[in-house]
Amino acid sequence: MDVWKEYEHNEITHSAAHHLMAIDDLVEKLGYARVSDVARRLNITRGSVSISLQPLKKAGLINQDENRHLQLSEVGRQLVHAIKTKRLLLQRLFHEVLGVEPRQAEIDACKLEHLISNETANRLVSFLRFVDSDESRARELLRLWAEFDPSCAHEPGRCPSCETHCMEETVPLPPRAPADRAPPGRRPEVSRK
Amino acid sequence: MKLSSEEIVQELNRIFDEEVEAATRYLHLRSAVRGLDRVLVERILKEGFDETIRHAEVIAQKIRALGHVPRLEIQVSCPSEPVSGREALRQALTFEEAALECYQDLLRKVEGDVVLEEFARSQIATESEHVAQLKELLSE
């Protein structure tokens, strides 16, 4: 199986995911969603929204009533809820566990939310449940992680993560103080938008 | 509620985006259309493109007349796939209807401003005609 081609088999595109989430948010907030509301929310033109909604209607993810109000179908709703859950899980993983700065965690979660499989999301839920299950154990895990010195000897052959090239050289990072990381044992606020 | 000059410009900028984006889509569709009816549909799409660009120019002039410079903010992505004449017209209908709704919204918002009201009305008349023509072409 060509793993790289799996991306093409993804259920929906990034743009489609945001159109569906915008409809869901608007219906929740206003009780209805029109093309103009979606356009305003996504800061794109109505023409663009109308064109993007065509394949989603065809796929049975959204319905439009006689007043031109948009609604998610049951399948669409399930898809949106799965994407929102995945975003939250990824945000928590990146920020609370890995210590990625909140804004970057949100951006990266947004990029991946519609791409990861349900299988991976389920394992992520399990892992976060493990972290949440026992305050002292989670604190200890995060403390050990925060104290861990990730510097390496630049010996790719001996590092399972690097194999051929040293990751520190191939994925350069801006220098950060250790204090930038989320302190162990404390749950920083994660936006649930 | 009367809109301020800035709010009117904001509305006009939104319509400017719609028109320029629609023109870009017409341009792309013209090159993408395939099939037996290609020659006929291409001509209709060319007319749509010309008309849409003219509308964009008029909007830009309106914005300029209000002492502002138009702001363009569009993000268009058109796939590199052929489309049938019917599909091209269906897409054109989709964004023409969106443009029509924009002018209808504008008319509601500029109520009391005779000049802009007249402008919105004439645009609604033109866009409605386009929409009707496209619907007629698409009817079985």
Which chain B residue is nearest to residue A55, measuring alpha carbons?
A: B91
ipTM of model: 0.83
Q: pTM of the predicted model, to two decimals?
A: 0.76
- A36, A47, A54 member nearest B22 (Cβ): A47
Predicted confidence band of residue A184 (pLDDT cuts 50, 70, 90): very low
For chain A positions 26-85, those within 8 Å of chain B (CB to CB) are: 35-36, 43-51, 54
- Per-chain mean pLDDT for chain A: 84
Decide: residue A171, CB within 10 A, 0-12 exposed, 13-18 middle, 19+ buried. Answer: exposed
CB contact under 8 A, B101 and A54: no
Element at B8 (helix H, strand E): helix B5-32
**Cβ atoms A60, A73 nearer than 8 A:** yes
Partners of residue A51 in chain B, C-beta under 8 Å: 25, 91, 94-95
Which chain A residue is nearest to residue B14, measuring alpha carbons?
A: A45
- A35, A44, A51 member nearest B91 (Cβ): A51
Which chain B residue is nearest to residue A35, measuring alpha carbons?
A: B98
Tens of pLDDT, residues B88-124: 999 999 999 999 999 999 999 998 889 899 999 999 9
Tokens of A120: 């991976």
Decide: residue A157, CB within 10 A, 0-12 exposed, 13-18 middle, 19+ buried. Answer: exposed
